[in-house]
Amino acid sequence: MRAAYPHTELKIDRGGVTLHCEIYGEGPETIVFIPTWMFIHSRGYKSQIPYFSDRFRCITWDPRGNGKSDRPTDPSHYGHSQYVADALAVMDATDTDRAILFGLSQSGPTSTILASYHPDRVRAVIIVGTHSPLVPRFSHNSAESYNRDLGAQEPRGWEKYNRGYWQTNYDDFADFFSRQLFVEPHSTKQQEDVRGWAAGTTGEILAASMAAPYAGQYQLDEAAYRRIRCPMLVVHGRKDTVAPVAASEKVAELTGGELYIFEEAGHIPNARFPGQFNTLMRDFLARHLGTWSPNPPPRRAAKAPKRALYLSSPIGLGHARRDLAITRELRVLHPDLQVDWLAQDPVTRLLDAQGERLHPGSRWLASETAHIEEESGEHDLNAFQAIRRMDEILIKNFMVFQEAVEEGGYDLVIADEAWDIDHYWHEHPNLKKSAMVWLTDFVGWVPMPGGGAHEAYLTTDYNAEMIGHVENNPTVRDRAIFVGNPDDVAPLGFGTGLPMMRDWVPRHYDFAGYVMGAHPSGFGPRQALRARFGYAADEKVCIVTVGGSGVGAHLIRRILKAWPLAKEAVPELRMIVVTGPRLDPAALNAPPGVETRAFVPDLDQHLACCDLALVQGGLTTCMELAAAGTPFLYFPLRNHFEQNVHVAHRLDRYSAGRRMIFDASPPEAIAEAMVAELAAPRRSLPVEADGATRAARLVADLL
């Protein structure tokens, strides 16, 4: 799922070539994202457009040669004269008189030509990894190397940057070049994206673009650069192997532009380090054009109440319930504590019902829950890959958070599995503006068997990056809290060459014990609960619940097919299905006798007094059931590493629940298991009741 979608799409014909154009946002200022070399289409700007389109009008288009634009093979259709004309045509077609131009690599020269020869159309220029005809290219991708006859030899490395090789083995070149665009460690996702975008063009088209005249009617010499008077931000990566840093240094020198070098970046720092880059770009525009930027934090009296910004994961309401429990305990220790919540649906509904205060920036957040639902199949969710593919949403939401923390003057950020905050603050500690507490109930990405060796490689790489972040920047997390106990850490390694989880986690985390919204020991006598909810003493109450997302629809439907079989075996059985806020109970066509509810605010109390529960494999619900001693069947989502590994390990430790494999559980098997659990219910080990208090004390030390 994307973090933003265009509200307008246009087909623009220019010189017989159709360009596919997209418009995002409605801001008073316009940013035109000019396509780079047709090796990458307009999705290459996915780390910038969703965030900036909240307050700017953002326009981009697929370059001629890729995406939804036409793919001419005649060299006369390429070159900067054509690219400049394309930009002007797009601006005219979208009623854009003047714009901020964004150029990347090849579109750096396009942007500077526009600023030099068409200054009345340009407000400012931002260029990244630019080439310049004033600075020679690297010898490994020079014209001589590109035109060399390779003969029968098998090229290696940069020898693949060759006209003949592109047209005989384009896929291999695309794989090689994607790695050169992102030479930084842990860049597998960016490289994968580029390979996918590169599939939209061909070696023949790339060769045609290289055969075109460079600047055509324009002369991009020193005089042309010196004519540029608009504000310029010139960005380059020190480790760029595609375009030399000297090109950006020369452009900045001649134009008087601001030069920023990413010391650890390669060719595309706006995609590899978007947290730092977006902040840099935002502040540049604010300084020079007076566009929006975060307001400075308010001045506070010396004895003003402490303020915290709380981020609660939207993937399941259990996180929100435990975060509310921790907040209640924090207010016991700090009665004047003010808490703002940066959250999204369905968490916002729960917080609103509890009278909590939502940060106004919450409305700008892109939906993580909707992304998870889009990634899911029939009781199937590869959680690792889903989060990996959520990168566009995560960078958008991080920027919303960064604004909130810069403006809010908070004493503390509490991040419950807010992966974006933890990642980008570790990547660029200078962005950190507050003390931070990090909470999680699992540590370590785990490959699923179906993912094979490649997924094992990817999870190891992600774990290695996380370990490096924590060990190289130990002050980013002022406190890391594991929601559980040392024995709850899975007895696994992080991957080949990496430490064991049980060795590494205790060195970097404090343990709070398990935290839940309310421990069942405080609910009162079970029979009194049943009487309050109208559950008769002579009936067996079975509750079905699948959490806050819509992923559980397939499980509910299969359970509904098991209902008549179970009811026949246990006549006193009563089934209540709680669909959650994102599923319509009416759409399930429940059979007669089954009750359905969309939302039950005190669901944990119902689970504590029912006779049996059927749930997914989410940790929070399963641990609430374990703490209540309620028998339950749980069905981990296929390919969901957390539910199948981390949660299953913890439930085994507590002797809680019966694990069911969805693919091996037809309605008959589910009914049989229900009857067995009702006849001989298992009892789990006790779950501590003071987890929220312990967690609050660990957090309170930082206030």
Taking residue 50's Cβ as centre, other Cβ atoms within 10 Å add up to: 24
Residue 186's contacts (CB-CB under 8 Å, 6 or more residues apart) are: 461, 462, 464, 465
SS3 500: strand
Model pLDDT, residue 295: 85
Encoded tokens for 274: 């978007």
Considering the segment(s) 525-679 as one domain, its CATH architecture is 3-Layer(aba) Sandwich (3.40)
Please tell me the CATH code under which domain 8-138+214-289 is placed.
3.40.50.1820
Pairwise CA distance, residues 558 & 591, whole Å: 12
Q: Is the domain defined by 307-517+693-700 classed in CATH 1.10.10?
A: no
SS3 117: helix
Model pLDDT, residue 548: 55
Q: Which whole-number Å values give the CA distances from 25 to 31, 52, 55, 92, 115, in the listed order?
A: 10, 8, 7, 18, 24
The 10s digit of each residue's pLDDT in 637-695 is 999 999 999 999 999 999 999 999 999 999 999 999 999 999 998 889 999 999 999 99
- Nearest C-alpha neighbor of 557 from the set 379, 369, 309, 344: 379
Model pLDDT, residue 683: 85
**Mean pLDDT of the 518-528 span:** 94
The domain limits of the chain are 8-138+214-289, 139-209, 307-517+693-700, 525-679
Q: Which whole-number Å values give the CA distances from 408 to 297, 335, 693, in the listed order?
A: 5, 20, 26
Task: Indicate whether 97 pLDDT > 80.
Answer: yes
Strand partners, 22: 9, 60
Rounded percentage of the chain residues whose pLDDT exceeds 90: 88
DSSP H/E element including 271: helix 269-272
The 10s digit of each residue's pLDDT in 361-383 is 999 999 998 898 899 999 999 99
8-138+214-289 and 525-679 share one CATH topology?
yes
DSSP H/E element including 546: none
Model pLDDT, residue 550: 63
The 10s digit of each residue's pLDDT in 497-518 is 999 999 999 999 999 999 998 9
Q: How far is CA 240 from its chain centroid? A: 26
Task: Indicate whether 216 pLDDT > 90.
Answer: no
**Mean pLDDT of the 157-178 span:** 96
- Nearest C-alpha neighbor of 342 from the set 316, 308, 369: 308
Contact present, 78 and 86 (Cβ < 8 Å): no
Task: Indicate whether 601 pLDDT > 90.
Answer: no
Model pLDDT, residue 296: 85
Tell me the whole-structure pTM to 2 decimals.
0.95
Mean predicted lDDT score pLDDT of the chain? 95
Strand partners, 233: 126, 258
| Residue 108 one-letter amino acid | G
**Mean pLDDT of the 439-452 span:** 97
**Pairing mode of beta strands 232-237, 594-597:** unpaired
Q: Which long-range contacts (CB under 8 A, 24 or more apart) does 348-356 make?
A: 349/581, 349/599, 350/317, 350/320, 350/321, 350/324, 351/312, 351/320, 351/324, 353/601, 354/324, 356/324, 356/327
The 10s digit of each residue's pLDDT in 525-559 is 999 999 999 999 999 999 999 865 567 888 999 99
**Mean pLDDT of the 557-564 span:** 96
User: H helices of 570-683, where?
Assistant: 603-609, 619-628, 641, 648-653, 667-679
SS3 591: coil
Taking residue 261's Cβ as centre, other Cβ atoms within 10 Å add up to: 16
**Mean pLDDT of the 278-290 span:** 96
Per DSSP, which regions of 265-337 are E strands?
A: 307-312
Rounded percentage of the chain residues whose pLDDT exceeds 70: 99
Backbone angles phi, psi at 59, to 5 degrees: -125, 135
Pairwise CA distance, residues 41 & 19, whole Å: 11
